[in-house]
Structure 1
């Protein structure tokens, strides 16, 4: 399989902070899941995808207002009905790893919410599968 990487950057703003003036963990997970879903949609060629699984999340460093985070995604595997991604999040201001997710699994679902075979086996760099 060809290697696929996607990088997204997020700026930590005051509304993203928790009561300790650090990035709220739920906010970074929201960003992470949303961007991963966008990748899954483009790769599988359908807007009907659901997050099925996320591996253990371990926050190892904090981020504060004004910090810039870099979310680096990789495709781990294409399954018959699924796509597995990994993601690492780095604080580009401090150079510290914020968290890593080894596995984020998305599944293509039909109008009844049932998994179906998406037919993809190799990554694409574009969004042409959505138009096909």
Structure 2
């Protein structure tokens, strides 16, 4: 699993129990998965189609630094299916897992559009040296 983004849990991210609000965490995850899919598919028109069961394992508290990890499960014709894990950066304890999230590439008409990708690509490998 590649961990891409870190978030610092701040007071505005907490629920009444004083721990990280699950809705805030899911918003961070959805944004990170969308950005990952946009970069992989080289398309700005990507939407979340579905998420599998979300498994909250531990909570995070104010001051914790969490990191969001993503792995590619599969490339579909119009979609990219991703797996996600969020963990506490300091303790390495898993906070949440999501087995699959399906992101779909859209055309200008808002309908699913083939993206032509079949494997993970790294941006550095796409750059042409001068």
> What TM-score does the superposition give when structure 1 sets the normalisation length?
0.89
Superposition map of 1:22-37 within 5 A: 22-37=19-34
1:51 aligns to 2:48 (yes or no): yes
Unaligned runs of 5+ in 2: none
Residue 72 of structure 2 is aligned to residue 69 of structure 1 = no
Aligned residues: 126
Q: Distance in 2 between matches of 1:39 and 1:62?
A: 24
Q: State the partner residue of 1:60.
A: 57
TM-score where L is the length of structure 2: 0.90
Q: Secondary structure at the match of 1:32?
A: helix
1:16/1:27 contact within 8 Å kept: yes
**Which sits farther off after the overlay, 55-64 or 118-127?**
118-127
RMSD of Structure 2 on Structure 1 (CA):
1.7
- Kindly report structure 1 stretches of 4+ aligned residues shifted beyond 3 Å: none
